[in-house]
Amino acid sequence: MQHEPSTRPDTARTLAAGEPADAAAPVTLPTGRSAGCPFDPPAGLAELREERPLARMTYPDGHVGWLATGWSTVRSIMGDSRFSSRYELMHYPLPGGPEGPLPPAPLGDMTGMDAPEHTRFRRILTGKFTVRRMRQLSDRVAEITAEHLDAMERGGPGVDLVEAFARPLPALMICELLGVPYADRERFQGHAHTIMSMDVTPEERYGAFVGLQEYMAELVAAKRAAPADDLLGDLARDSDLTDEELVGIGGFLLAAGLDTTANMIAHGTFALLTEPAQADALRADPELAPQAVEELMRYLTVAHTSVKSALVDVELDGLVVKAGESVTLSLEAANRDPERFPGPDVLDLHRKATGHLGFGHGIHQCLGQQLARVELTVALPALLRRFPTLRLDVPAEEVPLRTDMSIYGVHRLPVTWDEV
Amino acid sequence: MDVHVDRDRCLGAGMCALTAPRVFDQDEEEGLVVLLDARPPEEQRAAVRVAAGVCPASVITLTQDGSSPAS
């Protein structure tokens, strides 16, 4: 990295004694993935993690904040209430984002809230996403899985796995859980997709957000009139949420449940098909599934980054993050930290990937993680066992990657198999 | 090993109930941690240590002999 003090923005920080001068040189967020390694984080992150797990970073809007890549650094920031998640304090880390501060989180968008507002929403919802409640959904997940695998088999070899399996399963489950009619999916899936896209204009994203809210407002009005026995119905009947909050929460949960697990199923299958020995291990040993899911969460890290902003000066790793500075947390770099996960770039389903940050950490750790675990634990082994000869139908480098979406994965996964 | 939990700061993420289900559960209403066994037997202790380590809100603390922090 070239040191160019004359052209670099002021880093607002003096060098510590003995610190190499280059350590002050801000980087930009590495985003380019090499086509040959669809499962590896962008090149540059590993080097950065080794040299400075907390590095100065220049943001596209000119802000000079930080980039955290080391597992322990990322994890400690996620668990530290001196760092805020509020959007209006955040500088956007990717090019093409909004200039200047973001608007505050819309009502119900828990991702952009701090305590105590966040605590209130979280407390209302946690009891509905417990380990036990989600496990009770296993049979229903298995049923939906079997129906979709049956349909694949009937249609004969050759499908896009995203369309045939990975997308419908979590969509059906989140719809059933919330009480959103799956038949309405044309009305909300397009909006949710636009919200998750990185190459849309702010106007397009806002329009999609409004569209999703309009849909949810109609649904919430119906739930208020006749609360059904589902999550939105329960909230309409029992919670102290206002209509606007309920609409916000409903849209948030729906959007969060659609894209995330779908990409873990599709991208996880892609990874397993490129490592046939790992796929065979999962086929052979159903007991391996829970552990395999944790390793896939670590290895793939489909939600790449999170951004926090310091509320006060915080000393970390011998450096000072000043109040107001944003820190981009690279979850994918943290999950490949060799100090925490030896040989991190190898997919090893027998590894104990405990402590991975694939679902985040701290107060914002994924609310739906236990649902995701149930879906993945049921769906992936069932798919592999039903189709013992499942394989990619195109060369791996032709699988279209979601480098344009905030949740990584594949747009399509053409697969085929031998008929029995 | 003595196990302590701080329900006031619990987030209900369920990592403890997932990791050491004989020692931790979640209540039906709020999904917050319920301690099933404050002095878990030897064979549960490794899982309890992992559960304390992965708790996203760090609400599980372990002590030995009722006082000194367990490693």
DSSP state of A286: G
Amino acid occupying residue A21: A
Which of the residue ranges A8-12, A292-296, A384-388, B44-48 would you say has the lowest mean pLDDT? A8-12
B26 and A CB contact within 8 Å: yes
> What are the CA-CA distances from residue A200 to residues A42, A205, A332, A391 (Å)?
22, 6, 24, 33
The confidence band for A84, taking pLDDT boundaries of 50, 70 and 90, is very high
Quote the percentage of chain B above a pLDDT of 90.
86
Using pLDDT thresholds of 50, 70 and 90, give the confidence band for residue B65. Answer: low
Which of A222, A223, A210, A212 has the alpha carbon at shortest distance from A187?
A: A212
Q: Which pLDDT value is given to residue B69? A: 53
- Look at A370 and B30 and tell me if their CB atoms are within 8 Å: no
**pLDDT beyond 60 at A21:** no
Across the beta sheet with A305-310, the strand order is A54-58, A64-68, A326-330, A305-310, A83-84
Give one DSSP letter per residue of A31-64, joined into a string. Answer: -PPPTT-TTSPPTTHHHHHHH-SEEEEE-TTS-E
Percent of chain A with pLDDT over 90: 79
| pLDDT exceeds 70 at position A10 | no
Which residues on chain B are in Cβ contact (under 8 Å) with A127? 12, 26-32
Mean of the pLDDT values across residues A395-407?
92
CA distance A200 to A96: 9
CATH class (in words) of the domain with range A45-416 = mainly alpha
Q: Tell me the mean pLDDT in the region A353-373.
A: 97
Judge whether A195 and A208 are in contact, CB under 8 Å: yes
Closest to A31 in 3D by CA, of A17, A23, A44, A42: A42
pLDDT of residue A224: 94
Give A23's pLDDT tier (boundaries 50, 70, 90).
Answer: low
Annotated domain spans of chain A: 45-416
CB A76 within 8 A of CB A295: no
- Range with the poorest average pLDDT among A160-169, A253-262, A276-285: A253-262
Say if residue A300's pLDDT is above 50. Answer: yes
Chain A positions touching B24 (Cβ under 8 A) are none
Residue A19 pLDDT greater than 80, yes or no: no
- Coil vs helix vs strand at A338: coil
Q: Is the pLDDT of residue A22 over 70?
A: no
Residue A109 Cα distances to A194, A254, A311, A331, A365, angstroms:
16, 11, 20, 21, 14
Average pLDDT score over residue span A311-315? 98
Span A370-393, average pLDDT: 98
Residues of chain A with Cβ-Cβ distance to B31 below 8 Å are: 126-130
The pLDDT of residue A4 is 34
Contacts of A363 in chain B (CB under 8 A): 11, 56-57
Residue whose pair of structure tokens reads 């129906």 in the numeric block: A147
Predicted confidence band of residue A8 (pLDDT cuts 50, 70, 90): very low
Tokens of A152: 């694949």
Q: Which residue has the higher pLDDT, A98 or B13?
A: B13
Pick the CATH number of B2-63 from 1.10.510.10, 3.30.70.20, 1.10.8.60, 3.40.50.10470: 3.30.70.20
Bigger pLDDT: A144 or A15? A144
Pick from A190-204, B31-45, B54-68 the range whose average pLDDT is largest: B31-45
Residues of A at the B interface, defined by Cβ within 8 angstroms: 78-79, 122-123, 126-132, 354-355, 360-363, 365, 367, 369-370, 373
A25-80 per-position pLDDT tens digit: 899 999 888 767 899 999 899 999 999 999 999 999 999 999 999 999 999 999 99
Q: In terms of DSSP bridges, do strands A326-330 and A64-68 run parallel, antiparallel, or are they unpaired?
A: parallel
What is the Cα–Cα distance from A34 to A39, expressed in whole angstroms?
9
Q: Is B1 on the interface with A (CB under 8 A)?
A: no
Cβ contacts of A300 within 8 Å, gap of 6 or more = A39, A264, A267, A268, A271, A358, A408, A409
CA distance A11 to A23: 11
pLDDT of residue B67: 56
What pLDDT is recorded for position A24? 64
Nearest CA in chain B to A119: B11
Which residue pairs from A119-123 have beta carbons closer than 8 angstroms and sit at least 24 positions apart in sequence? A119/A363, A121/A245, A121/A249, A122/A363, A122/A367, A122/B11, A122/B12, A123/B12, A123/B30
Interface touch A365/B56, C-beta < 8 Å: yes
B27 touches chain A (CB under 8 A): yes
Q: In 3-state terms, what secondary structure has residue A199?
A: coil
Task: Tell me if A190 sits within 8 A of A86, measured CB to CB.
Answer: no
Of A86 and A203, the one with more pLDDT = A86
Listed by start position, the domains of chain B span 2-63
Q: Is the pLDDT reported for residue A184 higher than 60?
A: yes
Q: Collapsing DSSP states into helix, strand and coil, what is residue A255?
A: helix
Helix or strand or coil: residue A249? helix
Task: Using the predicted structure, report yes or no on whether residue A292 has a pLDDT greater than 60.
Answer: yes
Cα-trace Rg, chain B: 11
Instruction: Report which of residues A350 and A14 the model is more confident about.
Output: A350
Look at A85-89, A101-105, A123-127, A151-155 and tell me which has the smallest mean pLDDT.
Answer: A101-105
Q: How confident is the model at residue A379 (pLDDT cuts 50, 70, 90)?
A: very high
In this structure, what token pair is assigned to residue A193? 């997709």
pTM: 0.92
CA pair distance A252, A259, nearest whole angstrom: 12
| ipTM, interface predicted TM-score of the complex | 0.90
Residue A81 has pLDDT above 90, yes or no: yes
Least confident of A72-81, A188-197, A228-237: A188-197
Contact A405, A417 (CB under 8 A): no
Alpha-carbon distance A195 to A234, whole Å? 27
